[in-house]
Amino acid sequence: MMGRELTVHVGFDDTDSARGGCTTYLASLAAERLVELGARFLDYPNLVRLNPNVPWKTRGNGALCLRFKLEDDRLGEAVEVLVKLLEKEAVLEDPYTNPALAVLVGWPSVELRRLAMKAVTGIVKVEEALKVAEEEGVELHCLKEARGVVGALAALGETLEGDHTYELIAYRAPQSLGSPRKVDASSVVEMDRLTRPLTFNNLDFEAFRVLITPHGPDPVLYGVRGETAEAVRHASTLIKVEEPVERWTIFRTNQGTDAHLKPATVADAHEHLPVAIKGTVASKPRTIPGGHVVFTLSDGTGNIDCAAYEPTGSFRKIVLALQPGDEVVVYGGVRPPGPSNPKTINLEKLLIVKLTSLRIAINPTCKRCGAKLESMGKGKGYRCRKCGEQYPHAKKTWITKPRKLVETLYIPPPRAHRHLTKPYSRYGREKTGGPLPLAPLSPSQFLWVNPSFKKAP
């Protein structure tokens, strides 16, 4: 007899570690198992990037959610399979890895959505997440401490009904892990040429660097980001790899949407928050040891330092060319004060709203010989240094110095972007996800597993 079909959401977070592992890989394995159990997916697996400035995260701060329909008599088995998977795949020996799995039947409530927004734009305490989980009837499985609950719940609640993008992530076969990735760079250049602007951040042209491949011990071979599932799928067919691909999965995500940046004032730019603050440049930018460029921003509620760090490359030259009086909007994360620096906004973007006109006074020139005049003292006029001609009534000349900047948005090169940073190419391409569920998906739309690497169920 057929059971009743349930709408189920499974969120998980914090399974990876700086030393390997990858929560997206776990999501791919989980999706495969769920399909085997008869789950019908209502959305692509969701990859939800949370506030990148939270201090206890060393990696991308990504949480995952799978949304699907399942016969109610199979739910218990499905959760058991997923918990086992989490136990097997999570890097439990890492003291900073605290995996959690959250199961919700039905649709995420307003409270869960609010919590998700807070986890993307701010800080959510573990106790707060546990309270919401209890109130909303979310079933939790924590393998160690409850830290991962925040991400797992946020993933449930972030249904990506606003702007969103896609990422196809291809994974390496187990025997390749730890060795250099064999992805043909020229095929990436060609893929980029053929698919831009429907894909983005494939390459960094300033540093001649391929960005789709990571460098760590994790199982990701490459990830292609784009506007649609079709675009990233097409792009992946253009990438030449010389090692086996174990599987790929297409995720729907808030990457590249600026979802984390919230309008704020200097007064409420608290530590670890991502902010967008409109203000006036209050000090001449200066380069500090390490090659970072720093200036002070003022907005009437206070002053705060803003820094373009060394990895932002040519972006630092833009920041260095600012002048006191320029009206700007700064975007970035608030870094807590250190032993040698005050609280500082780590700049992710800079919008120049209005450039101040840079007027400087210069001494007039001699009408006889063309040389620069020198002052004979306050109110006493000028004298030519070269021919001695005197000009008792001459005055200083004011000139407007041309600015090297224009009133526009400046973004650092892609290699310095956060996962959430919206690149230039996405401006004007923002889209709404619309209400869920999406049209029913067939597994082949988001998941491919190399038959030679099929894991025994």
Closer residue to Zn ion in complex, CB, 371/399? 371
In the list 366, 394, 447, 449, the residue contacting Zn ion (rule: CB under 5 A) is 366
The Cα-based distances of 312 to 118, 207, 261, 273, 424 in angstroms read 27, 11, 18, 20, 15
368 binds Zn ion (CB under 5 A): yes
Instruction: With contacts defined by CB under 5 A, name the span among 203-211, 272-280, 374-382, 386-394 that binds Zn ion.
Output: 386-394
Nearest to 155 by CA among 263, 17, 264, 43: 43
Q: Tell me, rounded to whole angstroms, the distance of Cα 127 from its chain centroid.
A: 26
- E strands of 72-207, at which residues? 100-105, 139-142, 165-172, 199-200, 203-204
Residue 235 DSSP symbol: H
CB of 327 to Zn ion, least distance (A): 42
Which region, judged by CB under 5 A, interacts with Zn ion, from 90-98, 258-266, 367-375, 406-414? 367-375
**Region binding Zn ion by CB under 5 A among candidate stretches 23-31, 53-61, 91-99, 376-384:** 376-384
What is the distance between the alpha carbons of residues 220 and 212, in angstroms, rounded to a whole number?
10
For residue 441, state whether it binds Zn ion (rule: CB under 5 A).
no
At which residue do the structure tokens 């970072």 appear?
Answer: 292
Residue nearer to Zn ion on the CB measure, 134 or 374? 374
Cβ nearer to Zn ion, comparing 354 with 368: 368
Nearer to Zn ion, 302 or 370 (CB): 370
Name which of 265 and 363 has its Cβ closer to Zn ion. 363
**What is the footprint of Zn ion within residues 98-137 (CB under 5 A)?**
none
Determine, following the binding rule CB under 5 A, whether residue 307 of this chain makes contact with Zn ion: no
Interface with Zn ion: number of residues (CB under 5 A): 8
Closest to Zn ion by CB, 163 vs 389, is: 389
- The CB-of-391 to Zn ion minimum distance in angstroms stands at 9
The stretch near Zn ion (CB under 5 A) out of 44-52, 130-138, 291-299, 379-387 is 379-387
Q: How far is Cα 375 from Cα 346, in angstroms, rounded to an integer?
A: 45
Contact flag: residue 384 with Zn ion (CB under 5 A): yes
- Closer CB to Zn ion, 26 or 366, in the complex: 366
Decide whether 360 or 387 has the Cβ nearer to Zn ion: 387
From 40-48, 55-63, 225-233, 361-369, span contacting Zn ion (CB under 5 A): 361-369
In the complex with Zn ion, which residue's Cβ is closer, 35 or 373? 373
**CA-to-CA distance for 21 and 11, rounded, in angstroms?**
17
Nearer of residues 310 and 389 to Zn ion, judged by Cβ: 389
Cα–Cα distance list, 111 to 63, 122, 128, 131 (Å): 18, 15, 11, 11
Looking at the DSSP bridge assignments, the partners of residue 361 are 398
**Cα separation of 29 and 16, whole Å?**
14
Binder to Zn ion among 387, 408, 424, 431 (CB under 5 A)?
Answer: 387
Q: Return d(Cα 46, Cα 361) in angstroms, integer.
A: 59
Which residue do the tokens 């249904």 mark? Answer: 159
If binding is defined by CB under 5 A, does position 374 make contact with Zn ion?
no
CA distances in angstroms from 75 to 67, 69, 79, 410, listed in the order given: 13, 10, 6, 49
In whole angstroms, what is the distance from residue 47 CA to residue 297 CA?
A: 34
Using CA atoms, how far apart are residues 217 and 186, in angstroms rounded to an integer? 23
Nearest approach in angstroms of CB 380 to Zn ion is 17
Q: Which listed residue (177, 353, 362, 369) binds Zn ion by CB under 5 A?
A: 369
CB of 394 to Zn ion, least distance (A): 12
Q: What is the closest distance, in whole angstroms, from the C-beta atom of residue 326 to Zn ion in the complex?
A: 38
Token reading at 333: 């994360």
Give min distance, CB of 370 to Zn ion, in A: 7
Name residues whose C-beta falls within 8 Å of residue 79's C-beta, 6 or more positions apart in sequence. Answer: 10, 101, 103, 139, 141
Contacting positions for Zn ion (CB under 5 A)? 366, 368-369, 371, 384, 386-387, 389
